[in-house]
Homo-oligomer: A and B are copies of this chain.
Amino acid sequence: MIIQLQNQVAEADRKAIIEKIKSFRYKVTPVTTQRGDYLIGIGKAEFDIRSLGHMPGIKDLHIVSDDYKLVSRKWKVNPSVVDLGDGVEIKQGNFTLMAGPCSIETEEQVEKTIAHLVANNVRIMRGGVFKPRSSPYSFRGLGIDGLKMFYAKCQEHGIKIITEVMQVSQIAPMYDYTDIYQVGARNTQNFNLLDELGKVDKPVMIKRGISGTIDELLYSAEYVFSGGNEKLMLCERGIRTYETASRNTLDLNAVPILKDKTHLPVIVDPSHGMGIRDYIEPMALAAVMAGADGIIYETHEKPEEAASDGAQTLNFAESEQLVKKLRATYELRQKLG
């Protein structure tokens, strides 16, 4: 169950509520987020909801049958809004585009990408400075100095940025130079990282694990949300299956399922999802019709020279065409209702 407490609840009332919940043999976890104070009760016993519902100090009480609670749409029917400022809002009802290279490489690269985004009215740029790589001998990103350059350039042109955080110790140094912390597919169940991102007052996007279930993604979201950070969105980016014809299997089924189960925005990453340039466009358009609230994809002036992921990266001409088609497709989806 989720109990939302009244603002400035009296401590005695709060204690009485906690005692009452414990009397049902439920475990109580107090949660304070940017938007309110909650008590999460976890247990299985039947109890008389009326004995609880009328206690002083309770603003709202929901029974949520899912194992995740605060991210469930059974608790919060209205879709969540992640506000980045300057009129950039990620939410159901908007259509969000995030584009940019796999890795931040040079100032020139960032500038050219920004020009491309501005020309196409894309407001969020992606780009990695900490790169998770299977092999220790691969390029691992420009690090925090690269991030500072990347952020400064984007600030100049009103572009927000999303970039991957790989470990707890990076959260603080990145804080002043990022708009959205991205949790990558290898860290979806890095629970310490999720715990700490729950304490931050900045948006977070969690990618689904490489072979993560939809429920596990929702549990990971629950870590951040119950840690205190409601500025949260989810990302489908392809799963691992037996099929080897594509790098991953972009699982668009996850989109309507997630939209049904949670109030959080759902973004789709067709670049990592497929891994093959020629198929990015049809899968991105498909993702829109499946119900995605946004698309994140890789673009680079010269994909064949990119430091990483060139094979799945669009050049700017392809990117421009994709943006137009995505918006036309989203418009149709809105019209069809």
- Which residue numbers of A lie inside 8 Å of B, CB to CB? 27, 29, 40, 42, 67-69, 132-137, 166-169, 186-187, 189-195, 209-211, 213-216, 219-220, 222-223, 226-227, 239-246, 249-257, 260, 273-274, 278-279, 282-283, 285-291, 325, 328-329, 332-333, 335-336
Interface centre among A191, A213, A251 (most CB of B within 10 A): A191
A-B contact pairs, 23 of them (CB 8 A): A27-B137, A29-B136, A42-B137, A68-B135, A135-B222, A136-B219, A137-B226, A167-B167, A186-B191, A213-B244, A239-B242, A241-B242, A243-B251, A244-B244, A249-B249, A256-B282, A282-B289, A282-B290, A283-B290, A285-B290, A286-B287, A289-B289, A328-B332
- Taken together, the copies of this chain in the complex come to 4
Interface centre among A69, A254, A286, A287 (most CB of B within 10 A): A286
Closest to A210 in B: B211
B contact residues around A291 at 8 Å (CB) = 282
Q: Bound complex: CA of A329 vs CA of B337, how far in Å?
A: 12
Could you tell me the distance in whole angstroms from the C-beta of A329 to the nearest C-beta in chain B?
Answer: 6
A283→B259 CA distance, assembly (Å): 13
Q: Which residues of the other chain, B, contact A216 by a CB distance below 8 angstroms? A: 134
With both chains docked as a complex, state the minimum distance between the C-beta of A336 and any C-beta of chain B, in angstroms. Answer: 5
Known A-B contacts: A166-B192, A325-B336, A329-B336. Give 16 more (CB < 8 A): A135-B222, A136-B195, A137-B226, A166-B191, A167-B192, A213-B242, A213-B244, A215-B245, A241-B251, A243-B251, A243-B253, A243-B254, A245-B254, A245-B257, A282-B290, A286-B287
In the complex, chain B residues whose CB is within 8 Å of the CB of A189: 132, 134, 186
Inter-chain contacts of A186 with B (CB < 8 A)? 189-191
List B contacts of A255 (CB < 8 A): 282, 286
Say how far A186's CB is from chain B's closest CB, in angstroms: 4
Interface centre among A135, A227, A274 (most CB of B within 10 A): A135
Query: With A189-B132, A257-B245, A289-B329 in contact, is A137–B40 under 8 Å at CB?
Result: yes
Closest to A184 in B: B189
- Tell me, rounded to whole Å, the shortest Cβ–Cβ distance linking A151 to chain B: 21
Would you give the shortest CB distance from A4 to chain B, in whole angstroms? 17
Residue of B nearest to A257 (CB): B245
B residues in contact with A336, CB < 8 Å: 285, 325, 328-329
| Cα(A189)–Cα(B215), bound, Å | 21
**Closest chain B CB from A182 CB (angstroms):** 15
- Min CB gap A332→B, angstroms: 5
CA distance A193 to B192 in the complex (A): 12
Q: Which of B209, B254, B286 contacts A289 (CB 8 A)?
A: B286
Residue of B with least CB distance to A240: B242
In the complex the two chains form, is B242's CB within 8 Å of A260's CB? no
Contact A240–B211 (Cβ < 8 Å): yes
Compute how far the CA of A309 lies from the CA of B214 in the bound complex, rounded to whole angstroms: 22
Knowing A191-B166, A223-B136 are in contact, say whether A286-B252 is a contact too (CB < 8 A): yes
